[in-house]
Amino acid sequence: MNVQERIAWLRSELHRHNHNYYVLNAPEITDREFDELMYELQRLEKEHPEFHDENSPTMRVGSDLNKNFVQVAHRYPMLSLGNTYSEAEVTEFYNRVKGLLNEDFDICCELKYDGTSISLTYEEGRLMRAVTRGDGEKGDDVTDNVKTIRSIPLVLHGDYPRVFEIRGEILMPWESFERLNREREAREEPLFANPRNAASGTLKSQNSSVVASRKLDAYLYYLLGEELPCDGHYENLQAASSWGLKVSEHARKVHSLQEVFDYISYWDTERKNLPVATDGIVLKVNSLRQQKNLGYTAKSPRWAIAYKFQAEQALTRLNKVTYQVGRTGVVTPVANLDPVQLSGTVVRRASLHNADIIQSLDLHVGDMVYVEKGGEIIPKITGVDTSARSMLMGEKVSFITRCPECGSKLIRYEGEAAHYCPNETACPPQIKGKIEHFISRKAMNIDGLGPETVDMFFQAGLIKDTADLYRLQAIDIRGLERMGDKSAINIVHGIAESRQIPFERVLYALGIRFVGETVAKKLAKAFFDIDNLMATDVDALVAVDEIGEKIAQSIVTYFNNPANVALVNRLKAAGLQFTLSEEKQGGYSNKLEGMSIVISGVFTRHSRDEYKELIEKHGGKNVGSISSKTSFVLAGANMGPAKLEKARKLGIRIMDEEEFLTLIS
């Protein structure tokens, strides 16, 4: 065979072996034989770039090139499911469906996998796009990252529809999760709280080679399209499985309420033996025709519901309590425990939240404590087995009075449960936390920087505050662990680009307590530049819409600190934007004053973010959901059907782009 035929054969074989190994768990060849085929394909593709294919098996390894995510509108909205927690609520759901349909129906029972939602679009049997759930109406295009997940086929086989969408969960198996956290702990990096967060954070990585290294998995559970093979949801899943898609083998079609309860009872125990996290059961009316007849409420389908398992509990020994300091100075107590198996993973630590929780539990070192996972994931102590105490019980746990990192005396604000370290300019965790906030996506959005690199630069003595970032040069960075010339240049370039970030986001990036994105916009609009803001007082701040005394006092306190003023002056000298642009200073009005406005759909004249800015610029308020208090909905094409239905039901006006632009002109 010629080179092109050999490349095609290798791709076909590698796709088949990928499916056998990662989906069917039935490999036909050894890892070494697989690697030899892959190396040959990589060599041939490199020698013959004219035969490049986006869906080649070689795409599985990912790339270290940064790539910003593009937002894509969902063709079908991705709604959330209503939750139930008892058999009585399941019975209520079943009887409600029975009453609405007035005919026989089947239920498809599925495990509720605890990962991050994904929508995959296939055309002509090839993966074309992978999009996150986002806000349900639009999400991030993460196709390059998803292509690195071995259990998601790039090319299908069999008799599949020309175009279809399939949804599912991206998961990090327990084994991969624990390995990742062991590696991060060895590097003294922050640990992921749970597999769901780890999977979500990994999927949104700007570096697809990182995604490839973390061995994510996927289960697919819902097929959409105009040419589906069957009216039955369960039957469609079996068809999807025959095309090479990974569908859970544990889904069951049942015909009665008792069979639903039998399924729930079985998996309430058996789920602990699964390699991935689950937190419940999903029940769906099986017939697509019946699903369509049942329709949707404002937030969720009437034909499906999620049953959430009760949190699993374990008894173990409390060895000691340590304390962690967060970005804002909040000090959180952490219980260090004898290792105990809980919901598929080994738990060694649990949050105690604050001093009041410790006091209410009457904790002593050595106590036998009950631990459970809120939502099956985050460990917490819920009680103490006082009967297990002996005469030799340990010291009573009392909340510390000084910061464990810098030794400063802790303070507690009136009306708050948390204790704070006030040394915000010299306490290491607070310094690093402020830098991490400063570089984050909604603040300065500096490409190439993340918590790991911030910690590395801090430990190397390259940065002690946010202003130090603007003194970094590529020569300072190259040579550090995992930092080559290209990475160093990209980081320095990303820092330089951030000088163009507008004033309102720079203000948010400073990390002033209680000053979020919306408050930062209000302040920028009211004071125009940083000098005016630094010179103002509490009374002038409170006069600004939505600024209360608590926020105002925090702003004044921040700028009364000479160290903060010095930092702002250094950032100004570095070239950051500390004045509201002339374009934004002009054109304000009160035409939308007092109005609460919901945005939905896809627009042509402006982006959604630009419309949000226009609403705020003219005195209106952006809100996320429709209620009786909504003034009107600014609607583009493909407005979410749930929002449309609710707006009509409440008699809320729906306004298109042209009407809106005329209103504010």
Give me the mean pLDDT over the 471-482 stretch. Answer: 89
Q: Is the dihedral of CA 259, 264, 269, 273 positive or negative?
A: positive
162 lies in the same domain as 120: yes
Please name the residue that has the structure tokens 């009364």: 560
Question: Quick count: other Cβ atoms within 10 Å of Cβ 524?
Answer: 25
Q: Residue 347: what pLDDT?
A: 86
Give the confidence band of 61 by pLDDT, cuts at 50, 70, 90. Answer: low
Q: Residue 190: what pLDDT?
A: 64
Q: What is the largest CA-CA distance in the chain?
A: 83
Q: At what angle do helices 428-439 and 451-459 cross, to 10 degrees?
A: 140
Domain ends where: 422, 445, 472? 422
Q: Over 60: is that where the pLDDT of 110 sits? A: yes
The answer to whether residues 164 and 122 touch, using CB atoms and an 8 Å cutoff, is yes
Of 6-20, 127-141, 555-569, give the range with the top mean pLDDT.
Answer: 555-569
Query: pTM (2 decimals)?
Result: 0.52
- Determine, yes or no, domain membership for 201: yes
Give me the mean pLDDT over the 602-623 stretch. Answer: 82
> Among 262, 366, 268, 389, which residue's Cα sits nearest to residue 320?
366
330 lies in the same domain as 302: no
In angstroms, rounded to a whole number, what is the distance separating the alpha carbons of residues 631 and 621? Answer: 10
Q: What is the pLDDT of residues 502-519, one digit of tens each?
A: 999 999 999 998 898 889
In angstroms, rounded to a whole number, what is the distance separating the alpha carbons of residues 71 and 375? Answer: 29
Q: Residue 178: what pLDDT?
A: 82
The answer to whether residues 82 and 36 touch, using CB atoms and an 8 Å cutoff, is no
Q: What is the pLDDT of residues 378-409, one digit of tens each?
A: 688 888 998 888 777 789 999 999 999 999 99
Which value, to the nearest 10 degrees, does the dihedral of the CA atoms of residues 556, 557, 563, 569 take? -10
CATH number assigned to the domain comprising residue 42: 1.10.287.610
Q: What is the pLDDT of residues 646-658, one digit of tens each?
A: 888 899 999 999 9
Give me the mean pLDDT over the 597-604 stretch. Answer: 85
Q: Over 80: is that where the pLDDT of 22 sits? A: no
Look at 60-64, 462-466, 510-514, 540-544 and tell me which has the smallest mean pLDDT. Answer: 60-64
Residue ranges of the alpha helices (H) in 440-484? 451-459, 474-477
Residues assigned a catalytic role: 112
Q: Over 60: is that where the pLDDT of 420 sits? A: yes
Give the confidence band of 252 by pLDDT, cuts at 50, 70, 90. Answer: very high
Residue percentage of the chain with pLDDT more than 90? 49
Give me the mean pLDDT over the 606-627 stretch. Answer: 83
- Determine, yes or no, domain membership for 72: no
Question: Quick count: other Cβ atoms within 10 Å of Cβ 423?
Answer: 19
Q: Is 131 exposed, middle or buried (0-12, 13-18, 19+ CB in 10 A)?
A: buried
- Determine, yes or no, domain membership for 375: yes
> Among 386, 389, 373, which residue's Cα sits nearest to residue 340?
373
CATH number assigned to the domain comprising residue 543: 1.10.150.20
Q: At what angle do helices 3-22 and 31-47 cross, to 10 degrees?
A: 140
Give me the mean pLDDT over the 138-164 stretch. Answer: 92
In angstroms, rounded to a whole number, what is the distance separating the alpha carbons of residues 355 and 213? Answer: 40
In angstroms, rounded to a whole number, what is the distance separating the alpha carbons of residues 496 and 446? Answer: 9
Give me the mean pLDDT over the 88-104 stretch. Answer: 93
Which value, to the nearest 10 degrees, does the dihedral of the CA atoms of residues 217, 219, 225, 229 take? 120
246 lies in the same domain as 128: yes
The answer to whether residues 119 and 133 touch, using CB atoms and an 8 Å cutoff, is yes
- Determine, yes or no, domain membership for 256: yes
Give the confidence band of 48 by pLDDT, cuts at 50, 70, 90. Answer: confident
Give the confidence band of 586 by pLDDT, cuts at 50, 70, 90. Answer: low
Write the DSSP symbol of residue 370.
E
Q: Residue 424: what pLDDT?
A: 84
The domain of 549 spans 503-585
136 lies in the same domain as 227: yes
Residue percentage of the chain with pLDDT more than 70? 94
Q: Residue 3: what pLDDT?
A: 82
Give the confidence band of 375 by pLDDT, cuts at 50, 70, 90. Answer: very low
Question: How many distinct structural domains can be found in the chain?
Answer: 6
Write the DSSP symbol of residue 49.
G
Domain ends where: 422, 456, 485? 422
- Determine, yes or no, domain membership for 70: no
Higher pLDDT, 372 or 445: 445
Q: Residue 388: what pLDDT?
A: 85
Long-range CB pairs of 475-481 (<8 Å, 24+ gap) are 480/456, 481/456
Q: Residue 437: what pLDDT?
A: 92
Q: What is the pLDDT of residues 161-206, one digit of tens each?
A: 999 999 999 999 988 888 888 777 666 566 776 788 888 888 888 7
Q: Residue 338: what pLDDT?
A: 94
> Among 326, 296, 494, 348, which residue's Cα sits nearest to residue 405?
326
Q: Residue 64: what pLDDT?
A: 38
Give the confidence band of 149 by pLDDT, cuts at 50, 70, 90. Answer: very high
15 lies in the same domain as 26: yes
- Determine, yes or no, domain membership for 161: yes
In angstroms, rounded to a whole number, what is the distance separating the alpha carbons of residues 456 and 475? Answer: 15
Please name the residue that has the structure tokens 């830098």: 435
Q: Which two tokens stand for residue 112?
A: 């509720």
| Geometric angle at alpha carbon 295, from 293 and 298, rounded to 5° | 165
- Determine, yes or no, domain membership for 24: yes
Q: What is the pLDDT of residues 300-321, one digit of tens each?
A: 899 999 998 877 788 999 999 9
In angstroms, rounded to a whole number, what is the distance separating the alpha carbons of residues 75 and 119? Answer: 10
Q: Which two tokens stand for residue 59?
A: 């795409």
Q: What is the pLDDT of residues 524-533, one digit of tens each?
A: 988 999 999 9
Q: What is the pLDDT of residues 447-461, one digit of tens each?
A: 888 888 999 999 999
Q: Is 268 exposed, middle or buried (0-12, 13-18, 19+ CB in 10 A)?
A: middle
Chain centre to alpha carbon of residue 215: 18
Q: Residue 614: what pLDDT?
A: 86
96 lies in the same domain as 191: yes
Q: Which two tokens stand for residue 129?
A: 């796009």
Return mean pLDDT, the chain: 87
206 lies in the same domain as 260: yes
- Determine, yes or no, domain membership for 66: no
200 lies in the same domain as 232: yes
Q: Residue 63: what pLDDT?
A: 46
Look at 194-208, 410-424, 430-444, 509-523 and tell me which has the smallest mean pLDDT. Answer: 194-208
Q: Over 50: is that where the pLDDT of 65 sits? A: no
Higher pLDDT, 352 or 166: 166
529 contacts: CB under 8 Å, gap ≥ 6:
503, 578, 579, 580
653-655: strand order across its sheet: 621-623, 596-600, 632-635, 653-655
Q: Residue 378: what pLDDT?
A: 61
Domain ends where: 308, 328, 350? 308
Please name the residue that has the structure tokens 């061995």: 215
**Beta strand residue intervals within 311-418, DSSP E:** 313-325, 330-342, 345-351, 368-374, 378-384
161 lies in the same domain as 236: yes
244 lies in the same domain as 278: yes
495 lies in the same domain as 508: no
Q: Which two tokens stand for residue 25?
A: 């768990």
SS (H, E, C) 610-639: HHHHHHHHCCCEEECCCCCCCCEEEECECC
Q: Over 90: is that where the pLDDT of 80 sits? A: no
φ, ψ at 503 (rounded to 5°): -50, -45
The answer to whether residues 352 and 381 touch, using CB atoms and an 8 Å cutoff, is yes
> Among 469, 443, 470, 442, which residue's Cα sits nearest to residue 454?
469
In angstroms, rounded to a whole number, what is the distance separating the alpha carbons of residues 236 and 229? Answer: 6
Look at 82-86, 154-158, 470-474, 502-506 and tell me which has the smallest mean pLDDT. Answer: 82-86
CATH number assigned to the domain comprising residue 660: 3.40.50.10190
Look at 128-142, 254-268, 373-387, 644-658 and tell me which has the smallest mean pLDDT. Answer: 373-387
CATH number assigned to the domain comprising residue 157: 3.30.470.30
571 lies in the same domain as 626: no
Write the DSSP symbol of residue 606.
S
Question: Quick count: other Cβ atoms within 10 Å of Cβ 176?
Answer: 21
Q: Over 60: is that where the pLDDT of 589 sits? A: yes
Q: What is the pLDDT of residues 203-235, one digit of tens each?
A: 888 778 788 888 899 999 999 999 999 999 999
